[in-house]
Amino acid sequence: MRWCKKYITKLAKIIFLFSITFSFWMIFMGSALADNSSGISEGLAIQIPIADKNVRDGDIIAATSKGYKLATFSYDPSVYGVVSDRPAILLKETPPNNETPVITSGKAFVRVSTIGGSIKKNELITSSKIPGVGQRADTNGFVLGLALEDYNNSNPNAIGKILVSVNPHYNATFIATRTNLIESIKIVAGSPLLSPLTTLRYLLAALIAIASFVLGFIYFGRIARTGVEALGRNPLAARIIQLGIVLNVALTAIIILVGIGIAYLILIL
């Protein structure tokens, strides 16, 4: 009985060591598989018909009035999603009817270039003039999503692929923007992706900007008419009247600038 108990103890130790070794091996293999799964996107894809031929994995797709096509210019307001040959989840018809899986939300590998500069992690990605290819966003406009990896290449025409958190939306967070208020409103007006609340924001910003110009010019017209009448009645007080006109013109400019400032704050907040 003693020798039997001894062998049972050894067998238990062997089983215990084997289970520990197997667990570590599974953890290691799981990490290795995760590292090797760079081609698998982490998002829900739906199948849609794309008009362009030879669409590649990672291409940026735009929803246009002529159907789904490759995005072909910077800050395309119709950006819809990203082609993914290996999505985590795919909703499809049976049969698929020549449709392509596209991720509209989630994580996807996107074809990018450095035409807009080197891409750093957590920078915004938008469409570019290269069909289907993304670039770094550095001004206000429509973006595809957020870069989750760095990408750098001295050749701006070279195409790489990085993981992007896909969330098409209008971005207005850049302070040193190169676009003006009218251009921003024009871009937004052409987008099919705006929610009612977002549409209301831009409509309100446009109305405030227009109202400030109208009120400014009405006020300026009254000042000009009153100043001319005052000069006609009392030419000896010309300097005082002119000073008053200058001050009122400055007030008109302030009214217009305040209106534009309020409209801009509505856009970025």
What is the rounded CA–CA span in Å between residue 69 and residue 184? 23
Pairing mode, strands 42-48 and 89-91: parallel
Mean pLDDT of the 124-151 span = 93
Domain boundaries, the chain: 1-36, 42-173, 198-268
CATH of 42-173, one of 2.40.300.10, 3.30.450.20, 3.10.580.10, 2.40.50.140: 2.40.300.10
Q: Is the pLDDT of residue 21 over 70?
A: no
Note whether 86 and 39 are within 8 A (CB).
Answer: yes
More confident of the two residues 17 and 256 = 256
Q: Is the pLDDT of residue 32 over 50?
A: no
Select from 175, 206, 210 the least CA-distant residue to 189. Answer: 206
Reported as a pLDDT band with limits 50, 70 and 90, residue 26 is very low
Q: What is the pLDDT of residue 37?
A: 44
Mean pLDDT score of the chain: 76
- CB within 8 Å of 3: residues ≥ 6 apart: none
Reported as a pLDDT band with limits 50, 70 and 90, residue 225 is confident
Residue whose tokens read 């119709």: 78
Reported as a pLDDT band with limits 50, 70 and 90, residue 27 is very low
Q: What is the pLDDT of residue 93?
A: 61
More confident of the two residues 2 and 248 = 248
Cα dist from 170 to 27, 42, 64, 78, 133, whole Å: 41, 23, 17, 10, 18
Q: Is the pLDDT of residue 136 over 80?
A: yes
CATH 1.20.20 fits 198-268, yes or no: yes
pLDDT in tens, 58-86: 999 999 888 999 999 999 988 999 999 88
Q: Is the pLDDT of residue 36 over 70?
A: no
Select from 261, 225, 259 the least CA-distant residue to 245. Answer: 225
Q: Which of 4-8, 106-110, 160-164 has the lowest mean pLDDT?
A: 4-8
Q: Which of 61-70, 89-98, 140-149 has the lowest mean pLDDT?
A: 89-98
Reported as a pLDDT band with limits 50, 70 and 90, residue 35 is very low
Reported as a pLDDT band with limits 50, 70 and 90, residue 241 is low
Q: What is the pLDDT of residue 108?
A: 93
pTM flag (> 0.85): no
Q: What is the pLDDT of residue 19?
A: 55
Q: What is the pLDDT of residue 148?
A: 94
pLDDT in tens, 191-222: 554 555 566 666 777 788 788 878 777 777 77
Q: Which of 2-6, 45-49, 119-123, 166-170 has the lowest mean pLDDT?
A: 2-6
Mean pLDDT of the 3-22 span = 54
